[in-house]
Each structure stands twice: as structure tokens, then as C-alpha cells.
Amino acid sequence: MELTHTMRIAISYITGLIGGLLFTFIHLPIPWILGPLLAILLSKTFFNFKGESSLNLRNFAFSITGIQIGGTFTAATIDLVLPYLLPYSLLTIVLIAISLYNGYLLTKWIKVDVPTSMLGSVPGGLSVIIALSGSVNANTALVTIFHTIRLMTVLFIIPFLATHLFTSSNTDTTIGLLTGDSATQGPLWTIVILAFVYGLGLLLQERIPAAFVIIPMLIVASFQIIDYPLYHLPNYFFIFAQLSIGIYLGFSVSLKDIVKAGRYCGYYFALTIILIAISFGLGYLFSLITPVDLVTAILSLAPGGLIEMALTAESVGGDPSIVGSLQMIRMLMIVLVLPFGLKVLLPKIDKRKDKETDN
């Protein structure tokens, strides 16, 4: 019997739910993202898996998570973040520059062209980098694989390290919800505003990077800052959102694609480990030159996604609103500034290599 689209999605959610419950039971970090991710990935790889992901549910989940992160903001958050913009931006530029240089150096030892290697080493902005790869004559398939390696490595290593390095024995890290029950509950009618922010994200998704996360986060944060409480969605909405994101990520990566890259995978895995170590070092430096606590500083500079790092910050006692704000700045720098920088830099590197070849 041919399975319908709805049935395939249901199979995916049942599989993801099992993975999330298992990760919750054994107390692994951000279980409702990493559990479904691994469950879907293994099911695709080793079984005749008939599941399917839903773009609409993914977008809805991103909006719910944006609402979740926005709900952690207060009027004090702006006062806290503004003084950090300059040092954070400088450290982020250093991190991106190091990642690009490492990608360039790697081309001296392996047979990967410079644009592909540099784009495959950038800490984030996968969709934009893949789109950019065609315009700079990079190998899009390899760029995707290298970013898949980075994504998998970051998602499993950073939450694990953060949980074991920074979580006290009394902290509950099994769910990692950002909205506390003690917050003031807003009127029921404000659900209309929450629906509106999703619609706005839908309308502007082609114009604003990560619109489904950023727009809800900024609008809900604005209401929080002016101290006008919105209706707090039940916790199971946030669990569903994390489950949906984990399922989406599970379908986005493939062990078969990683195997296709052969021995190159090891090099880019090593680059990611180096990048994580450097980001931890820069995070430590950030905590020394600003009043930001160590865990918040490290997760703000970690080469992971806005959502995952904000959720990790909440689960280990960091400040998810600061992490979300600063990660958004890093993402915007990668999305808006890096493409122009690479289009200027790569032709110069090509000319330099041509001169070296002629000599």
C-alpha cells in the first residue's frame, strides 16, 4: 500500500518522538533536537525508512522557537547587549577570518579548490553559502557535505561539552524550555499577535534571512521589553517545535553523502574541532573583557545555530536572550557581509595562485 504524505510525516514524528524520549531518559543535552535528529538519520541509513519531513511544520517550529527565545528578553537585555556589540563583532570577524584561512591552508595538502574549501569552512549560514557557491565556481556538493560534517560535529559536541562543563548537579537539562512558569501570563487574545508574527515570517521569508526565527523573536522581544505580556504558549508547543527541528535536521544530513566525500571528511572534521576550540578561547576572552558570564560568552561565539545555542544556554544556566541576540548578529554578518567579502577575496587568491604557478 502506497503511503500518503500525511502518513509519511506521521512516521517521521513517531520515530523522532522515540529518539527524543530516549535522549530525555538518558539525560543527554537538548534531547528534543538531537534525539529526533539521530533517530531519523539512523532510520534513513540502516532501514527502509518511509518517513518524510514537512516544510510547513518546519517553518511553524522555527516561529515557535523564535517566540520562545523572544520571550526571554527583558528591558535590561538591550542595555546588556549594546555595550558588547563592538567587542563581539570584532571577535566574530576574527573567528570567520580564521575559518577562511584554515580552509585556504587545507588546499595546500588536499586536492580541493580554494572556493570550495573556504566556503566549506565558514561557521554557519549553510543555505546562503550553498547559494553563493555557484557564483564563485565552487563545488556545491562538496560544500554541502563539509557543512554537514560541521553541523553534526557542532550539534553533538558543543551541547555535550557545555552540559558537562557548566551544568551544576542540581540543574535540570532534560527539556531546556526557555519560558518559565513564573512569568506574567498575557491575555488570551494576544495569540492573534503570535499568529501574526508567523504570517509575517511567511511573507518576508525571501527577503529576510531566517525570517521565521528572527521576526517572531524580535517582535515578541519588543513586547517583553515594553513590559506588555503576551500569552505564554503551553510547554508542549516548544517541545513539538524542537522535535520538528530535529526531524528537519535529520532529513538534511546523510551519512551516505559524508561517505562520498571520502578521506576529505576527516580533514574538515578536524577543522571543525579546531574551530570549536578557537571559539571557546575567544568566548573566554569575551568573558574577560566584558561582564558576560563564561557560559553565555562561549555559546555566543560557538559556531552553531542560533536556536541550538540559545536552547543550550538555557539548559546550562546561561542567558539565552544574550546568546540569541549575539548569535543573530553573527548570522547576519555571515549572511550579509561574507558573500561580498568572498567575491572580492577569491579572485585575488586565484590571481596569486596563477602567479605562483607561472613562477
33-57 pLDDT per residue, tens: 888 988 998 998 888 888 888 889 9
Return the pLDDT at 145. Answer: 79
196 burial (CB, 10 Å; 0-12 / 13-18 / 19+) is middle
Average pLDDT over residues 142-168: 77
Contacts of 156 (CB under 8 A, 6+ apart): 34
Contacts of 275 (CB under 8 A, 6+ apart): 95, 98, 99, 102, 121, 123, 150, 303
- Residue 192's pLDDT band, with cuts at 50, 70 and 90, is very high
Closest CA to 315 of 121, 33, 89: 33
Output 334 or 191, whichever has higher pLDDT.
Answer: 191
DSSP states along 234-275: PHHHHHHHHHHHHHHHHHH--HHHHHHTTTHHHHHHHHHHHH
Domains plus CATH for the chain? 5-358 (1.20.1530)
Average pLDDT over residues 131-145: 72
- Residue 153's pLDDT band, with cuts at 50, 70 and 90, is confident
Average pLDDT over residues 49-68: 88
198-232 pLDDT per residue, tens: 999 889 887 776 688 888 888 988 888 888 888 88
- Residue 137's pLDDT band, with cuts at 50, 70 and 90, is confident
- Residue 264's pLDDT band, with cuts at 50, 70 and 90, is confident
Return the pLDDT at 279. Answer: 93
Distance CA 272, CA 280 (A): 12
Phi/psi for 176 (5° steps) reads 70, 40
Average pLDDT over residues 112-122: 86
Return the pLDDT at 209. Answer: 62
Contacts of 325 (CB under 8 A, 6+ apart): 77, 81
Q: Which set of grid coordinates corresponds to residue 285?
A: 576572552
Return the pLDDT at 277. Answer: 93
- Res 112 pLDDT > 80: yes
Q: What is the pTM of this model?
A: 0.69
86-100, 132-146, 165-179: least confidently modelled range: 165-179
- Res 22 pLDDT > 90: yes
Q: Is 291 helix (H, G, I), strand (E, B) or coil?
A: coil
Neighbour count for residue 214 (Cβ, 10 Å): 22
280-318 pLDDT per residue, tens: 999 999 999 998 899 999 999 988 777 778 878 887 888
DSSP annotation of 189 = G
CB 148 within 8 A of CB 253: yes
- Res 172 pLDDT > 60: no
Return the pLDDT at 88. Answer: 93
Average pLDDT over residues 8-34: 89
Based on its alpha-carbon atoms, the radius of gyration of the chain, rounded to whole angstroms, reads: 21
- Res 189 pLDDT > 60: yes
Tell me the Ramachandran region of residue 290: left when phi exceeds 0, alpha when psi lies from -120 to 50, beta otherwise. beta
Per-chain mean pLDDT for the chain? 81
